[in-house]
Structure 1
């Protein structure tokens, strides 16, 4: 029979419990999803100076295009957030100030 001292067992349980906690928002672009390859995008959205918002679906991978620049993002917001500023995820060189991203729930995950 295997003997594990109670103190070692307590430390082991505490370690697992601490590591199992979900991470909170980090205040970074990671709170809104992750960068993706251009080939993974389901669609492309072109923005310009008149764009005030774009609509996406949670889990969708999109390419944002402006003035010859582009980036691709898989949208997955922390805590099912439904709106954020595009400037939070856009490259600093891309003008995205004042544009909101509205996220619809994904019907594949509706219960």
Structure 2
């Protein structure tokens, strides 16, 4: 009976270890956060014709606007990801090619 419990524990540990590895970057928009409701935005970023980058903070929710189109995003990148292309998260029909998103660490989580 004790061997059965050890076997079950070993299987559980293997499953949990595999899940931890799977929690890494996925190569999708989910690596940069999640879509959010427009009312949740803390600020609005209006893209101009000459915009080449925007600055956001990890944990911030922003609405991004260009030529009458908009989307809202809650920025939640992996801690080592500080720059990505806006096209990774924008709607496919929104013209944002060549615009970079710079992600600052959230000062709320900085040590003193």
TM tier relative to shorter chain: 0.7 to 0.9
Tell me the distance in 2 between the aligned counterparts of 1:38 and 1:100: 21
1:19 Cα deviation (Å)? 2.8
What root-mean-square deviation, in Å, do the aligned CA atoms of Structure 1 and Structure 2 show?
Answer: 1.8
* Correspondences of 1:78-97 after superposition (within 5 Å): 78-97=78-97
* Correspondences of 1:68-79 after superposition (within 5 Å): 68-79=68-79
Aligned match of 2:57:
57
Q: Give the paired residue count.
A: 110
- Assess, with a 3 A threshold, how the Cα gap between structure 1 residues 19 and 26 changes in structure 2: closer, same or farther: closer
1:49 Cα deviation (Å)? 1.7
In structure 1, list runs of 5 or more residues that go unmatched.
none
In structure 2, list runs of 5 or more residues that go unmatched.
none
- Normalising to structure 1: TM-score of the pair? 0.88
Aligned match of 1:35:
35
Aligned match of 2:7:
7
Following TM superposition, the consecutive aligned residue runs of length 4 or more in structure 1 with deviations greater than 4 angstroms are none
**What is the SS of the residue equivalent to 2:79?**
helix
